[in-house]
Amino acid sequence: IQSDSGGGPPTPIPAAATKAVGEVPGVSAVAATRFAQARIDGETISVAGVDTETFGEVYKLDWKDGSAQTLNELGPGEVLIGKDYAEAHNLSVGDTLTLQTQRVKKLPMEIIGITDDTAGLVGDVSVSLPVIEDRFGTRDDAFIMAAFDVPKDQEAGVRAAI
């Protein structure tokens, strides 16, 4: 679910809207994603903030090093990185990245997993929602995904209710 901005860039979705989607009958899980930018060694990168509790319920993330459990355990001071980013920068699980955000000049983050997300949904670097809010200042969702617990023929009704 993404906001309709009339053809322009998407407008932010308030976190309260994400909660409201989760209360729609027929929705079994909702996961928000937020985006911010950071600098690592002078390079500007995109950082995704994901809901570690529900993201795996609505999106199947592939892994080079890690698992759904790795995502569930993603905490403060930890990041997931994309496979291509890891290879381009010779990084592996256990290494530390130091990010510069709008709020924090030096934010050391330990790599705990390497994703292989061919759809590019989580990008080069991913953190938990609390980290992207507290350390980056990003409070609104860029988009949300929902999983349904109704038969296929009833999904259109759930979508309309959202």
Parallel/antiparallel/unpaired status of strands 27-40 and 143-148: antiparallel
Confidence tier at 1 by pLDDT (50, 70, 90): low
Q: What is the pLDDT of residues 5-49, one digit of tens each?
A: 444 456 778 878 888 999 999 999 999 999 999 999 999 999 999
The answer to whether 62 and 122 are in contact (CB under 8 A) is no
Confidence tier at 135 by pLDDT (50, 70, 90): very high
Cα(125)–Cα(35) distance, integer angstroms: 10
Cα(87)–Cα(68) distance, integer angstroms: 21
SS3 label, residue 7: coil
* 1: exposed, middle or buried (Cβ count in 10 Å: 0-12, 13-18, 19+): middle
pTM for this one?
A: 0.87
Give 94's contacts (C-beta < 8 A, 6+ positions apart): 110, 111
